[in-house]
Structure 1
Amino acid sequence: MAKLHAYLNFNGNCEEAFTFYEKVFQTKNPGFMRYGDIPADPQMPPIPDEAKNKICHTAISINGESMLMGADVIPVFGQSYTQGNNTYVMLMCANSAEAKTLYEALSVNAKVVEMPLGETFFAELYSSFQDQFGICWMVYFGGNKDTDCESNS
């Protein structure tokens, strides 16, 4: 069964927020992945210089089972930070079949599909979308690519 995690979007202050949350939850942040760390991909827009030091992904463990994850939102990927899209429910799936099943069920009549379920540089399957009720979801199956900050969940 998928694990449920909170994913928070920030307007350029993700690193500051997670440094604070690390103290609050008395846990160690294993690191920050920055937009400048993303491998070049001709199918994706280039990362603007002013966004390269912003946080692309980070995570801390809350209790060994729950993760608090986050990133700065940058406009080059078609998102803008607004209250309402700054929190996602993230489903960490145990296998690709579970990811596909959950994506197909949750995305029925989706208001917005930011990224359809597919392979990325960081996951075998990943999607982000707003469901028909306006709730923001991420479906993730890392598979063989699961080597980022959140490797223990």
Structure 2
Amino acid sequence: MEIQPYLFFNGRCEEAIAFYRSALDAQELMKLRMKDAPPNPARPVPPEHADKIMHATLVVGSTHVLMSDGDCGEGGNTVHAGFSLSVTVDDRAAGEKYFNALADGGQVMMPFQQTFWTSGFGMLTDRFGVPWMVNVRDQQAAPK
């Protein structure tokens, strides 16, 4: 079994894909636009949404992150509540790199810093309203 996050970006998915490709070295696996779907008379796609993203898959490390523009409502940020995406890396330099890239245009909730369990951990909400935790997988600071 796998659990994969599926994020909705309310019309900003194309921008989010570009951001995560840069910030997380993500690879775009596939992308389907609204206009690629077979016509559905019961639910026609408005012409202004034809190029919006119905479904996309990014590969971040070994994880598939699924994404969509959703119904493209009013634009702006979708509310992402009740969860946080967690990035775990093997060294502090990588942790700082990803934390700073994700924080660009977002809001830092807890600066990236040493804690009692690791040499680096921080929390932020990115420019799309997605909450993140970045954690270094080490035992350097773990209590004995």
* TM band (smaller chain): 0.3 to 0.5
**Normalised TM-score (structure 1):** 0.45
